[in-house]
């Protein structure tokens, strides 16, 4: 049984809250290692987070939709 290692990313900006009840936080993060090193992704995460935190992502190919302001 092989254990896959995730890809470390650094949170560079907190975009805003998302989800039906604001339970997720949308963040921009910069990939620190691997083939996509230096690429910036927008992802959703749950829980307390701040700029400079390190997230370990299992997948770096997928990106979330951008937040739109309410009219």
CATH code of the domain in which 42 resides: 2.40.50.140
Asked if residue 70 belongs to a domain, the reply is: no
Residues 6+ apart with CB under 8 A from 57: 6, 7, 9, 29, 41, 43
* Number of domains, the chain: 1
As averages over each run of 10 residues, the pLDDT of the chain (71 residues) reads 75 92 93 93 94 93 77 56
pLDDT of residue 47: 93
pLDDT of residue 2: 38
Asked if residue 8 belongs to a domain, the reply is: no
Residues 6+ apart with CB under 8 A from 17: 23, 24, 25, 26
CB 32 within 8 A of CB 9: yes
CB 3 within 8 A of CB 14: no
Asked if residue 62 belongs to a domain, the reply is: no
Tokens of 41: 């992704």
User: Residue 42 sits in which domain range?
Assistant: 13-57
């Amino acid at each position: 049984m092989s254990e896959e290692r995730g890809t470390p990313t650094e949170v560079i900006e907190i975009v805003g809250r998302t989800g039906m009840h604001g339970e997720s936080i949308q963040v921009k993060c910069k990939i620190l290692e691997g083939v996509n090193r230096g690429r910036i992704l927008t992802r959703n995460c749950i829980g307390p987070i701040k700029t400079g935190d390190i997230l370990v992502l299992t997948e770096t190919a997928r990106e979330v939709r951008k937040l739109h302001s309410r009219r």
